[in-house]
């Protein structure tokens, strides 16, 4: 009798969407690319990785990227300058047939700018909130491996006036990122 109740609860969970979908996928993508535009003086490298959980049209992604020498210039004058991002994104995707998909992402998280020395280049060592939006394509090479191309826009968000009022506005720091990588689907 107890086993029948368990079967009933499992069947009810599946019927009402409580149980995980059989088509859910986990996608791990290490990538490399370039940052450009807006506050970037010249194009340069970025690398990182993404971990996405998707089950059809809607999913969630955690994206980490590191861009050394972000603000360019002479390494002797400004030896340590970089930007690190850690974003949580909603992912909207659709299949292109087979193992390929188009996707779009939008989300927010940590946008850390660091400039060391040269009088701290206007004291730019700080953590701030930022958002990103973009999209890309993942072309399946096999059931579990694909090639991904992605482009995103990043912008800081914060309180530009340090007072006791709560007012959030778009910050003045932004850039674009284009990456490519291998995707592993589990």
pLDDT mean for each 10 residues of the chain (186 residues):
51 45 82 89 90 93 93 62 93 90 96 64 62 97 96 86 63 91 96
Q: What pLDDT is recorded for position 15?
A: 45
- Phi/psi for 9 (5° steps) reads -65, -40
C-alpha 52/C-alpha 29 separation (Å) is 8
Buried (b) or exposed (e) across 140-168, using 16+ Cβ within 10 A? beeeeebebebebebbbebeeeeeeeeee
Q: What pLDDT is recorded for position 43?
A: 85
Q: What pLDDT is recorded for position 17?
A: 42
Cross-strand pairs, 30: 49
Q: What pLDDT is recorded for position 172?
A: 79
What 3-state DSSP class applies to 1?
A: coil
What 3-state DSSP class applies to 14?
A: helix
C-alpha 95/C-alpha 49 separation (Å) is 22
Domain spans of the chain, in order of start: 24-185
Q: Which fold has domain 24-185?
A: Porin (2.40.160)
* Tokens standing for residue 103: 């996707």
> Among 138, 151, 152, 143, which residue's Cα sits nearest to residue 182?
138
């Amino acid at each position: 009798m107890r086993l029948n109740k368990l079967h009933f609860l499992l069947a009810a969970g599946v019927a009402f969407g409580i149980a995980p979908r059989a088509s859910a996928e986990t996608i791990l993508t290490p990538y490399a690319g370039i940052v450009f535009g807006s506050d970037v003086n010249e194009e340069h490298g970025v690398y990182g990785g993404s971990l996405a959980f998707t089950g059809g049209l809607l999913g969630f992604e955690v994206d980490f990227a590191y861009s050394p020498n972000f603000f360019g210039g002479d390494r002797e004058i400004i030896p340590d300058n970089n930007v690190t991002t850690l974003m949580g994104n909603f992912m909207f995707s659709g299949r292109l047939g087979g193992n390929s998909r188009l996707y779009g992402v939008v989300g927010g998280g940590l946008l850390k700018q660091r400039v060391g020395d040269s009088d701290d280049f206007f004291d730019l060592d700080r953590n701030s909130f930022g958002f990103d939006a973009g999209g890309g394509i993942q072309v399946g090479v096999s059931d579990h491996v694909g090639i991904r191309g992605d482009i995103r826009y990043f912008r800081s968000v914060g309180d530009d006036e340090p007072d006791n009022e709560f007012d959030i506005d778009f910050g003045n720091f932004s850039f674009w990122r284009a990456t490519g990588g291998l995707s592993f689907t589990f």
